Amino acid sequence: MDAEPGTRPGRAGSAPKRRGRLRTLRTYAFATAGLLLAGCASMPDHGEIRPVQVSQGVDSQVRVFGVPPADRASPQEIVDGFLEAMTSDDPQLQTARKYLTEEAAKNWKPGAAVTVLSAGLDRFSVQGEKDPAAPRFKVAGKMLATVDERSAYQPETGGKRYEEFLQLTQENKQWRIATPPSSLVLSESDFQRIYMPVNKYYFAGGTLVADPVYVRQRSDPDSRMDPTTQTVKSLLAGPSKWLGPVVTSSFPSGTELREGTKSLSYDGQNTLRVPLNVKADNVAQPQCQKMATQLLYTVKDLTGSRVDRVELLRSDGKSSSCWVTEAAAAVVANRPLSPGHQYYVDNESRLMRMSLDPNREEQQDPPSPVPGPLSGNPPFKVGSAAITYDEKRAAVVSEDAHGLYVVNLTTAGPVPQPLLTAKGSKPAGFTAPSWDAAGDLWIADQDDQTPTLWRLPHGSGPAEKVAVSGLDGGRITGLKTSPDGVRIALLVQKESRKNLFIGRIERPDGKSDGPAVSVRELRPAAPQLADVTAMSWAPRGRLLVVGRESGGVVQARYMLADGSMVGAGLPGATGLEAVAASEDEKKPVVAFSGEDGIVWLPPGAQWRTVAAGGKAPVYPG
């Protein structure tokens, strides 16, 4: 099939201009396939050279192949060509290895580790003019992130610089690199072209948890596995280091794909069969169901297609009689209940609920006060609230942000006494509360002198002070626990800026005398944004974030919880001040706009106002 050779222009700010060349192979439409096949028995190795641009975002139809070093190429050309070849789809990065000495090519094992730079590499000759026999180049750039050997993404903050030295030597009268970098080094645009984010799933107690990682969009150069097989392999290898302390895998230790497996495919009934090694041959049915559930959710999240059934195969290729359907997996996964209502605080500071059906726009019931003690004349005005997942209780913060109350929504009676009182008053009082999947209640006191994160077990107390590692003098001004119960999103104000962080919730194992619950290893969840004003958890472990980039306007965007990528923005969402999303993707986004009140965005539709007055919209959780 025809190939289109070309030269990639040097990136702005890099020095000197690149001379490396890449080939791109593009898959053409079926209408021309017959004509192309008639005359492409081999890849042409000559013809016109035309410039092409290969790093302008993701194009799944473009494959990039490196061009080997020219005869008697200069040291500068060797370095440039090698850096270009690292971005190729060559099996085992064969072309990149041709720029290395024989020994370095044999021992170079970049593996899955990647260093991601915000722009291209700068290259400087630091030795050569004084000692032409031993040219040496420094490659440097601003680090954006790293991807570790388990394919997990970790943003870098604070302007950290990447620097590495490439030592060249002559081998058979040709310049070659003797000291290649220990990992792949890619610009952000190359990284997004080559890799894609996926979720693999593990269990925390009985609940399934999304663990975001990155895999190659096409076959991996080392393993030759397709993206689905890469993702399943990563799932079997275990959770990321960050999530590992709070989740477990149902697969027996040492479980891998059966040797030689490079591709996984579906049959006509949308069943995926996964061949495993001998470690998984004799697993009891309940455990086997959980293994198949992890696989089904992982593959379904990756492909975006309908996977109705996953079946595990024994090491001999025979059926293990272990399979799970999509409906059965939903029970095993113990996902949060689909909410029956959305909630908000109206202009009279009452807690309201509404049930919105996109198919019944003209017939929807008007919002009404929540049932129970708050429907009468409570002794305080409501400022913010959180509803349990079963919608039977409400945690309510008074309008002055001073008192926290937990109210039963299924029975009448007086409003109970506050469970907790803030040291400060509005605006330095309590944040809005949040319920986790275990039924515990979380809230932060924003008092300037003693800011504190509190947890009330089962929503009844006594309140426990939660240690948060990594705050570094910041003050929590907003929080939301994830539906899976093992992560917490924190809005942290330091000086005049609010940034978003994700912390890991660690619970006691019963073997230590340490604090009951703690929040560990805060990591930035929106490093691209200069200021974050509101957030909510969204389906598949993502976040819906309201904020702005430096010098930009306020927008609402979906973001990955590992801080790796800004996702799609919500159309027409520049005026939002608060936002709420449900784990159920069929439910609308509910938000507060200072101009329009409570607004609603169903999937695939436009914004519309559903309550002209009101604030603080929330879904259960």
Q: How many CB atoms lie within 10 A of CB 196?
A: 17
Which pLDDT belongs to residue 39?
A: 33
Residues 479 and 491: beta-carbon distance below 8 Å: yes
In whole angstroms, give the CA distance from residue 436 to residue 537.
12
Which pLDDT belongs to residue 259?
A: 93
Which pLDDT belongs to residue 44?
A: 34
Residues 236 and 254: beta-carbon distance below 8 Å: no
The helix (run of H) or strand (run of E) holding residue 285 is helix 285-303
Question: Is the peptide bond prior to 462 cis by the omega test (within 30 degrees of 0)?
Answer: yes
Which pLDDT belongs to residue 32?
A: 33
Helix residue ranges per DSSP H, 39-74:
none
pLDDT digits (tens, 9 = 90+) for 453-470: 999 999 997 999 999 998
pLDDT digits (tens, 9 = 90+) for 151-173: 999 988 777 899 999 999 999 99
Does residue 497 register a pLDDT over 90?
A: no
Q: What kind of fold does domain 10-20+57-194 have according to CATH? A: Nuclear Transport Factor 2; Chain: A, (3.10.450)
Residue boundaries of the structural domains of the chain: 10-20+57-194, 203-333, 342-618
pLDDT tier, 127 (very low <50, low <70, confident <90, very high otherwise) = low
Q: Which residue, 142, 137, 148, 84, is CA-closest to 110? A: 148
pLDDT digits (tens, 9 = 90+) for 287-345: 999 999 999 999 987 766 678 899 999 999 888 788 999 889 989 988 777 898 999 99
Q: What kind of fold does domain 342-618 have according to CATH? A: Neuraminidase (2.120.10)
Dig out the tokens for 10 from the structure.
Answer: 């040097």
- In the chain, DSSP finds a helix count (H) and a strand count (E) of 8, 39
- pLDDT average, residue stretch 607-620: 91
pLDDT digits (tens, 9 = 90+) for 511-521: 444 568 999 99
pLDDT digits (tens, 9 = 90+) for 546-592: 998 888 888 899 998 898 877 778 888 778 999 999 998 889 999 99
pLDDT tier, 62 (very low <50, low <70, confident <90, very high otherwise) = low
Cα maximum dimension of the chain:
91
- pLDDT average, residue stretch 65-73: 90
pLDDT digits (tens, 9 = 90+) for 33-59: 333 333 333 333 333 322 222 233 334
Which pLDDT belongs to residue 14?
A: 37
In whole angstroms, give the CA distance from residue 240 to residue 160.
23
pLDDT digits (tens, 9 = 90+) for 178-189: 999 988 999 998
Whole-number Cα distances in Å, 226 to 75, 93, 220, 223, 264: 35, 16, 7, 9, 8
- The upper half-sphere exposure of residue 561, i.e. CA atoms within 13 Å in the direction of its Cβ, equals 31
The position carrying tokens 């974050």 is: 532
Residues above pLDDT 70, as percent of the chain: 85
Looking at every residue in the chain, the average pLDDT score rounds to 84
